[in-house]
Structure 1
């Protein structure tokens, strides 16, 4: 995936994105509507191996806020030292297990996000778990997410590279299934976008903290790709205002570190 021109050459830093620079480069997405974002996945979504625990979420949030969108990250868990650190990340879990968590009472159906960021399937690849049907398992989950939150744009990312060549071959096979799935669902008029984390703009071998997880620079690259995907989705009129949920603010920073009234499941 090609990054939007406004991101070309733009430096992201571990401690956050320089907001003055971002404000000059970014514009509000979808006319500045509130973005209630649920990051959904396993350990990479959780932020494992990043120095702060924030993973891609802090850099992405900073970009969105600097552009003019109120942002509330939501989920049943919290991780990282950022404000608004809610997340639905479950280290070690495979697609079916994460979907079960997404159906929990404190997850998608409660928060009604209008954006769901999905990076999921790496553990299926690590376990070589019925990979021929990984795309169908993802389809079942994505369609279930729309039942839980009908207004949601689902942003499905390809899986990042893996340092183990055998695992990376599995990753590439699953990524092809994901790309085909998104193409089909978009053709059916569904709110879904595909972003490529395994391409030239994604984390490289030098951006890996271990065989599977990015370091801070790798997570920053993921944030840029997700941001570009949301910009494109906004231009395509795929992002709708979130449903009103009592007690859930438009800006998650207003409530300090996390805004989840339940605590972790």
Structure 2
């Protein structure tokens, strides 16, 4: 059984340093059951390659014998293993409300990118203010770890947006993410952070969703986080 170390890892601009060939075995002898959890970005929305999103790049980088995606949703036309738990349009709280069936598939890695809809949509429900989005993210992480105590949650500082007002909110949200993760790591939870904020406005197809280049960038950043997490144990 893999010995997991609790780490806090922030990956800054790793895409340029990652090799795509040969495929990478990030945890020799261990099958990674990876749950991509989040909203439309985890689903791969607006991806011109067929809604494969960042999962396509990640799948092309990982050794075919060392991993599989899990989840109740399927999206993507370029890979057979297109399972995920991405829910287009969902806020953090709504993601938490529907995550149970995906978590029941016993992932040992959860890739969590959530918060875009909390910070972009208007008007806000009374219980989903912009300012409290970090608190909701922490609660979602707690829900994940309560249902699957042995899993590692890799939580993202989310990608940018072209709209100045939305981007300001995203920056404030992202500043809170490391503290959210560190608080839980200090309590013995298995949490890591990956910084997706280097996916900028020039890699967005409509100011909000990544272009194919943006999704590729995300896949490389996820790979870097997986390498750092699994190398520790």
Q: Secondary structure at the match of 1:59?
A: helix
Counterpart CA distance in 1 for 2:84 and 2:18 is 28
Query: TM-score when scaled to structure 2?
Result: 0.87
Q: Is the 8 A contact 2:34 2:68 kept in 1?
A: yes
Match of 1:41 in 2: 38
Moved more, 94-103 or 177-186: 177-186
Counterpart CA distance in 1 for 2:136 and 2:200 is 27
Match of 2:152 in 1: 153
Instruction: Pick closer, same or farther for the CA change 1:141–1:9 going to 2, 3 Å.
Output: closer
**Count of residue correspondences:** 216
Counterpart CA distance in 2 for 1:125 and 1:183 is 22
Counterpart CA distance in 1 for 2:150 and 2:39 is 23
Q: Does 1:59 align with 2:57?
A: yes
Counterpart CA distance in 2 for 1:118 and 1:136 is 15
Counterpart CA distance in 2 for 1:163 and 1:205 is 5
Q: Does 1:76 align with 2:72?
A: yes
Q: Secondary structure at the match of 1:123?
A: helix
The CA RMSD over aligned residues, in Å, is: 1.8
Q: Does 1:203 align with 2:202?
A: no
Counterpart CA distance in 2 for 1:226 and 1:63 is 10
Q: How does 1:10-49 map to 2 (within 5 A)?
A: 10=19, 21-23=21-23, 26=24, 28-49=25-46
Q: Does 1:119 align with 2:119?
A: no
Q: Secondary structure at the match of 2:193?
A: strand
Structure 2, unaligned runs of 5 or more = 1-10
Instruction: Pick closer, same or farther for the CA change 1:9–1:97 going to 2, 3 Å.
Output: closer
Q: Is the 8 A contact 2:69 2:84 kept in 1?
A: yes
Counterpart CA distance in 2 for 1:63 and 1:172 is 29
Match of 1:107 in 2: 102
Counterpart CA distance in 2 for 1:3 and 1:213 is 19
Counterpart CA distance in 1 for 2:120 and 2:215 is 20
Counterpart CA distance in 2 for 1:206 and 1:134 is 25
Match of 2:185 in 1: 186
Deviation at 1:4, TM superposition (A): 6.1
Q: Does 1:97 align with 2:94?
A: yes
Match of 1:260 in 2: none
Deviation at 1:9, TM superposition (A): 6.0
Deviation at 1:185, TM superposition (A): 1.5
Q: Is the 8 A contact 2:18 2:220 kept in 1?
A: no
Moved more, 214-223 or 173-182: 173-182
Structure 1, unaligned runs of 5 or more = 11-16, 238-265
Match of 1:136 in 2: 135
Q: Is the 8 A contact 1:134 1:177 kept in 2?
A: no
Counterpart CA distance in 1 for 2:132 and 2:208 is 22
Deviation at 1:218, TM superposition (A): 0.2
